[in-house]
Amino acid sequence: MEEVLSAARAVDWSRLGERVLCDACLGRLFGKMGHGHTNEARGGAVRAALGLPEGPCWVCGTLTSRYDALADLVVRAMEPWAPDSFLIGSKIDPELAAREESLWSDLSVGSPEPLKAEVNREVGKRVEARGPWTAEFLRPNLVAVVDPAFDHVDVQVNPLYLRGRYRKLVRGVPQTRWPCTRCRGKGCARCGGTGKMYATSVEEVIAAEVMRETGGSGHALHGMGREDVDARMLGRGRPFIVEIKEPRARHVDLPSAVRRINASGIAEVDGLEPASGEDVVAIKEDRAAKRYRILVRTSPPVEEAKLKRTLPVLVAQPIAQRTPERVVHRRADTTRHRRLLAADVARIDGDLAEIHVTAEAGTYVKEWVHGDGGRTVPSLAERLGVVCEVLELDVLDVLDG
């Protein structure tokens, strides 16, 4: 405290004029000194040492005396969400902020603390003492923003994130909910009033079982890439994170949720574990290669020896792929350059050939097979000199390490 008193004695208090400060606002002028003491304690010591007057506070009015009442407001606003952690924010009247800044300038103090910082800390301490939660600055479950001028609290509930790997066991199911292209999700004759192009999705199968326990206002699935609607996702599965928005409960019986997901017959996961928003960014930015199984019909049939000679040639060459005809209506018409990393023949049966291909992320594998009317060069069809039709496509592995 001696550091605070020494700094206070160096201030020309005559510049304060008729302005009177409460202990907290007085102590906050030296808020970055005298660690281990509250601003109220600092201010009380300064007032006693220098004989400064008491009275209604020119800076905050009565705000610093209302921390307990504000904490009670926050607790009532937080309780329905049952958070494990929280963070306090505040909206300070611009007039109060301007007053304290002018005071800092008039008194030439060098280590003040803003009123906003004190409100956040002091209300936060009281909230933490009132409930089964802890203050958390990096990844809080919930942020409560206090507006002292109106005794109002806005609650911002952060999403719940869970990560895992999914396998899609059937064809004809998209990765995420696909709104009807005619009604844009409102419901119409085309979609039978569902608002969707497909009855369900991997996202809905997984999220439904988590939502059952957490509630929430909505959900999203973030995958490391995506497979086509008519492709299966097999092997170890595709890494994903499911996001539950505004969950009412954050504790999930994960093994039970996994069992229910796996009983769907549509998708299955090996397990679920907690994740964060930062993990979503990482999973979206990952550029993992994929290994595919492709069942191709060739017309006319191709000899196995010729196919085996052709694949290594294609692996060695870069591929130029103009945005495919099937997706150009919803994606920019550009040309991408990709490479195959490996390709081999699994079996040939007449005009059917099963091949396994490993390709860089972002490769349009179907188009590499049939050429897409010359939009993909080179293609398997072009090099073989035959028509190639993709009958089945499966993702066998996502090579993310």
Q: Is 12 a catalytic residue?
A: no
Helix residue spans in 38-170 (DSSP H): 39-50, 67-78, 94-107, 115-130
- The Cα–Cα gap between 128 and 132 comes to 8
CA atoms within 13 A on the CB side of 200: 14
Q: What is the DSSP letter of 256?
A: H
Residue 24: name the closest of 1, 7, 47, 5 by CA: 47
Are 230 and 261 contacting, i.e. CB atoms less than 8 angstroms apart?
no
Task: Classify burial at 393, counting beta carbons within 10 Å of its beta carbon; exposed 0-12, middle 13-18, buried 19 or more.
Answer: buried
Set 228, 372, 394, 397: catalytic member: 228
* Residues in CB range of 234: below 8 A, 6 or more apart: 167, 293, 394, 395, 396
Helix residue spans in 326-364 (DSSP H): none
CA distances 64 to 52, 93, 94, 154, 263, Å, are 18, 13, 16, 20, 56
- The Cα–Cα gap between 363 and 358 comes to 10
Give one DSSP letter per residue of 158-210, joined into a string: PPEEEEEEEEE-SSS--SS--B-TTTTTS--TTTTTSSBSSS--HHHHHHHHH
In the three-class reduction of DSSP (H, G, I as helix; E, B as strand; rest coil), residue 100 is classed as helix
Sign of CA dihedral 327, 328, 334, 340: positive
378 preceded by a cis bond (ω within 30 of 0): yes
Length of the chain: 401
- The Cα–Cα gap between 296 and 383 comes to 14
Question: Which residues, listed in sequence order, are joined to residue 244 by a DSSP beta bridge?
Answer: 160, 219
Q: Hey, what amino acid is at 137?
A: F
Are 16 and 26 contacting, i.e. CB atoms less than 8 angstroms apart?
no
- The Cα–Cα gap between 330 and 256 comes to 38
* Residues in CB range of 363: below 8 A, 6 or more apart: 290, 319, 321, 338, 339, 340
**What residues act catalytically?**
228
